Amino acid sequence: MNPSIQSRLTRAALAAGLCCFLSLGAGLASSVQAATQGGTLVIVTTPEPNLLTNALSSAVTVTEVGTKVYDGLLEYDMDMRPIPSLAESWEVSPDGKTVVFKLRRGVTWHDGRPFTSADVQFSLLQVVKQYHARGPGNLGPVTAIETPDEHTAVFHLEHPYPPLLKGLSSAEAPILPKHLYEGTDIRNNPANNAPVGTGPFMFKSWDRGSAITLVRNPNYWREGRPYLDRLIFRFIGDSGTRSAVMENGEAQVATFGSIVPAEMKRLASLPNLEIAEGGYEALAPILSLEINNKKPPLDNRKVRQAIAYAIDRKFVADNIWFGFGKPAVGPISSVYASSGIFTDSGIVRYDTADRIERAKRLLDEAGYPEKEGGVRFSLIHDVSPYGEDYRRLGEYLRQALGKIGIKVTLRNEDWGAWVRRIYTDYDYDFTSGWFVGMGDPTLGAQRLYVSRTIKSGIPFNNATRYSDPEIDELWARVAVEQDTAKRNEAFHQIQRKLTEDSPLVWLLELHMVSLQSKQVKGLITSPLGMRGGLYEASLEK
Amino acid sequence: MRRPAAQRWAYVRARLLQAIPTIIVIVSCNFFLLHLAPGDPVDVLMGEAGAATEAIRDQLRAQFGLDRSLVEQYFAYLGATLSFDLGYSYRYGSTNLELILGRLSATLILMIGAFGVSVVLGSIGGLIAAVRRGTATAGAIMAAAVVSYASPLFWVGLMFIVVFAVKLGWFPTSGIARIGADYTGWRYALDVAHHAVLPVLTLSLFYMALYARLMRAAVLENLKLAYVVTARAKGLSQGKIMLRHVLRNALLPVLTMAGVQISGMLGGSVVIESVFGWPGLGLLAFESLFARDLNLLLGILFLTCILVVLTNIVVDVAYTLVDPRVVLR
């Protein structure tokens, strides 16, 4: 081992490790009792993925399939603290610029070849960092990965990067077999559609347009796992039929996006079905309105604040998302409460009792008095093409903003046109969408707020074109700050400053739960939820 | 006068030659019309991914050939298409021909099934409605036809699923075969047939209604004509008159409509395939449109266009077989 690297585990980390060891132990004990071996679990999800290697695409369904086949270096407990996966242990050097991962021994690829540190080096630097949309964020400062032996990977970083340990799951940074990818055209490698990994399930077949079948990996390194013999992902175009498939028991699990919330609520009340709670914490998704901050009158902070006041988040949570979400207070989700990153103190709250009066007052102050018929000005809302819920949201927004004198017209376009309009042409007033926070806000939320991500043509970057030097500086600080208290304080400042400037309007922290048959046990055991390995899932006979 | 067979053959040859410029024009129109839609496949891929970087965007655009001008893309496309090279889908990591052929059988099962069911049942229904004109049976048939004709397919499909799959459990809700059952041979064919019942029935309803109405109208019209009176006068039985004389004449409008139905076959039925999770070409075309995977969509349209042109020729020739009075020129 490299002697220059001091092993240093802080007391906090030790305590955390112990904690997660205990909780893991408890989890194991309970699942040993409940788990039944065997069976086929059918999962309904949508849309059908276009390829199966989630190292090359961060699309939701690609990740759902890929994470069963691949492992990552790390996994996370429910509080997003790292726990071992392909890496058995890891040490961060005191200067934060070197991280040593000790890799698990005796792990083999589904084709029988041994897994080594060379796979880690190749996958992360040659594939994930180059091709995965969040690769540059997750692995940004990693300049080199040294492999002193087959079971050690030494990461060299440009600067300390605390978020690094939050983005190494199989969902974000899957480890691919170097021997199948090296020296090939990575994007068109045949293994992309017939993936080979080290994970709990092996790829068997892909019936295009219908289903993907994965089978149990008998040599999986987690002793006795997975419990299921087979995982089948089914793709059905119509949401009504997807509900029917759950209702008559042809499928046992449906992912959040595949069933509309209203239906989800109805189906969960049937005797054989229930909600599988949790499983979205690693995504930390927030439903928001993106506002064109460069376009008058929306360039005026008071106007954006008025819009934020006008919306009844509780109503949206209860009547459009049917309780699958809770009102959001700012850009940083309360999912991060346990790590101290989240705060709701000292921020501008938009859920006050007199919010309508405040909104009207702000619009008056901004110079937009009520004119004939109570209308101050008109806006177009681009309904995002995510489905029915977003159309209903659009209809609600029209009413809610109408109350404060903003006349809203709705515009519906399909994916291609919408992405082009919002993220390339910036030809919009405001639109809606859900944005991920990821394991650390630096990895997910950040890109919506900093000046350097104002890049025309790249979706889900800073399309509001909000730009503020103080905010830029704060985000730069949290990326490198190793002192937890100072880092959390900087996040709190971000939360305060952004709620005041209101570049976006944050509506709900979405609870992206799944629907499951009551026969299914142990489905959601990690914050990755359906984007985890599902090796603890079992089917009661 | 030349022999009819030789004349028919000359006609087919001439029509086939005419078809080439027709296809080129259609293919060109398709290309430019589809490129009018805002956004490209890379926009969609990045949108689905939920994130992207500039490097990834540029890599993808170069790979899709989107960094070239539209005119360059057009000539490249035209050249490839006319040599039957349908191109490669970078979105799916597979050649377009493979993707299309992979979906073809599912579409053909659905369409041929629906075609057979609708032509046979529709024609019989129409015939009965005409012969038993004024009775309750005829009334019921025509009422059923109106309802089938007017009901939205997706709704009928969903209702079938709710009644026959969810409540009664007679048929599976969706899909083409039981996933993971790994049946082979007859067992597999039976499984597919079992899965096909609801979608085929749903899809055939519309055309069945159409054929029934066409048939009824044509039969009623023919029954008034002099040749029927003559046949009656000759002492032919009602059954012989219907089958030998009236039916043959009444089939002409049905044949025309059948040509239309076959022409639409390759396009599949987006609605039915979507509702029943049927992995056919219609759904592939639909998805490729939303994904802006235009080369794949153009490939499907190209094959459809060839089918339409060929079907038209076949229907024209078939007229002469059914009705010797029709002359090909």
Query: What pLDDT does residue A100 have?
Result: 97
**Where is mean pLDDT largest: A11-20, A82-91, B51-60, B287-296?**
A82-91
Would you say residue A428 has pLDDT above 70? yes
What stretch of H or E contains B254? helix B247-263
Whether residue B327 contacts residue B320, with contact meaning beta carbons closer than 8 Å, is answered with yes
Query: What pLDDT does residue B329 have?
Result: 67
Phi, psi of A88 (to 5 degrees): -85, -35
Coil, strand or helix at A286? strand
- Write out the two tokens for B118: 């609708």
Q: How far apart are the first and last CA of chain B?
A: 13
Q: Taking CB atoms and an 8 Å cutoff, what residues of chain B touch A40?
A: 180
Tell me how far the alpha carbon of residue A411 is from its chain's centroid: 27
- Write out the two tokens for A269: 């009340």
What is the spatial distance between Cα A146 and Cα A2, in angstroms, rounded to a whole number? 11
Instruction: Choose the closest CB to A59 out of B49, B179, B278.
Output: B49
In chain B, how many H helices and how many E strands? 14, 2
| Segment A270-274 mean pLDDT | 95
What is the spatial distance between Cα A220 and Cα A217, in angstroms, rounded to a whole number? 5
Tell me how far the alpha carbon of residue A215 is from its chain's centroid: 26
Would you say residue A138 has pLDDT above 70? yes
pLDDT digits over A11-64, tens only? 344 444 444 444 444 444 444 455 889 999 999 998 899 889 999 988 899 999
What is the spatial distance between Cα A234 and Cα B172, in angstroms, rounded to a whole number? 14
**pLDDT confidence bin for B265, thresholds 50/70/90:** low
Q: Taking CB atoms and an 8 Å cutoff, what residues of chain A touch B176?
A: 210
Query: What pLDDT does residue A34 have?
Result: 56
- Cis before A297 (ω within 30): yes
User: What count of other Cβ atoms lies within 10 Å of the Cβ of residue B227?
Assistant: 12
**pLDDT confidence bin for B314, thresholds 50/70/90:** confident
pLDDT digits over A326-383, tens only? 999 999 999 999 999 999 999 999 999 999 999 999 999 999 999 988 999 999 999 9
Would you say residue A9 has pLDDT above 80? no
- Write out the two tokens for A167: 């983005």
Instruction: Choose the closest CB to A417 out of B39, B275, B276.
Output: B39
| Percent over 90 (pLDDT), chain B | 15
Coil, strand or helix at A485? helix
B38 and A50 in contact by Cβ < 8 A?
A: no
Q: Which residues contact residue A336 at a Cβ distance below 8 angstroms, ignoring those fewer than 6 apart?
A: A80, A284, A342, A437, A441, A491
Q: What is the DSSP letter of B166?
A: I
Query: What pLDDT does residue A5 have?
Result: 40
Least confident piece of the model among A316-325, A405-414, B63-72: B63-72
pLDDT digits over B136-195, tens only? 999 999 999 999 888 888 889 999 999 999 889 899 988 888 887 778 888 888 999 999
- Residue A375: CA count within 13 A, CB half-sphere: 10
Coil, strand or helix at A176? coil
Query: What pLDDT does residue B266 have?
Result: 65
Q: Helices B247-263 and B294-322, interaxial angle, to 10°?
A: 170
CA distance to partner chain A, nearest, from residue B159 (Å): 10
A345, amino acid identity: S
Query: What pLDDT does residue A182 have?
Result: 95
Query: What pLDDT does residue B87 have?
Result: 85
- Write out the two tokens for A436: 């991920």
Category of B180 on φ-ψ map: left (φ > 0), alpha (ψ -120 to 50) or beta: left
CA distance to partner chain B, nearest, from residue A241 (Å): 6
Q: Taking CB atoms and an 8 Å cutoff, what residues of chain A touch B46?
A: 133, 419, 458-459
Phi, psi of A291 (to 5 degrees): -120, 135
Burial class (CB in 10 A: 0-12, 13-18, 19+), A237: buried
Query: What pLDDT does residue B50 have?
Result: 67
Which of A248, A384, A438 to mutate to probe the B interface, most B CBs <10 Å? A248
> DSSP string of A139-155?
HTTEEEEEEEETTEEEE
**pLDDT confidence bin for A70, thresholds 50/70/90:** very high
Whole-number average pLDDT of chain A: 91
What is the spatial distance between Cα A105 and Cα A88, in angstroms, rounded to a whole number? 9
- Residue B155: CA count within 13 A, CB half-sphere: 7
Query: What pLDDT does residue A7 have?
Result: 39
Q: Which residues pair with A212 in a beta bridge?
A: A206, A233
Whole-number average pLDDT of chain B: 85
Q: Which residues pair with A89 in a beta bridge?
A: A102
Instruction: Choose the closest CB to A248 out of B51, B158, B165.
Output: B165
The residue that leads in pLDDT, B246 or A404, is A404
CA distance to partner chain B, nearest, from residue A21 (Å): 33
CA distance to partner chain B, nearest, from residue A352 (Å): 33
What is the spatial distance between Cα A147 and Cα A101, in angstroms, rounded to a whole number? 10
The residue that leads in pLDDT, A248 or A494, is A494
Least confident piece of the model among A30-44, A210-224, B56-70: A30-44
CA distance to partner chain A, nearest, from residue B46 (Å): 6
Would you say residue A108 has pLDDT above 80? yes
Which of A203, A288, A419 to mutate to probe the B interface, most B CBs <10 Å? A419
**pLDDT confidence bin for B291, thresholds 50/70/90:** confident
Q: What is the interface pTM, i.e. ipTM, of the complex? A: 0.80
> DSSP string of A196-256?
--SSSEEEEEEETTTEEEEEE-TT-SSTT----SEEEEE--S-HHHHHHHHHTTS-SEE-G
Nearest to B288 by CA among B280, B77, B78: B280
Which of B40, B56, B198, B290 to mutate to probe the A interface, most A CBs <10 Å? B56
What is the spatial distance between Cα B64 and Cα B166, in angstroms, rounded to a whole number? 43
Q: Taking CB atoms and an 8 Å cutoff, what residues of chain A touch B275?
A: 237-238, 240-241
Q: Taking CB atoms and an 8 Å cutoff, what residues of chain A touch B287?
A: 47-48
**Where is mean pLDDT largest: A524-533, B123-132, B182-191, B217-226?**
A524-533
A133 and B273 in contact by Cβ < 8 A?
A: no
Whether residue A443 contacts residue A166, with contact meaning beta carbons closer than 8 Å, is answered with yes
Strands of A142-149's sheet, edge to edge?
A87-92, A98-103, A152-157, A142-149
Query: What pLDDT does residue A17 have?
Result: 40
pLDDT digits over B105-149, tens only? 888 889 889 999 999 999 999 989 988 888 999 999 999 999 988
Instruction: Choose the closest CB to B49 out of A133, A136, A211.
Output: A133
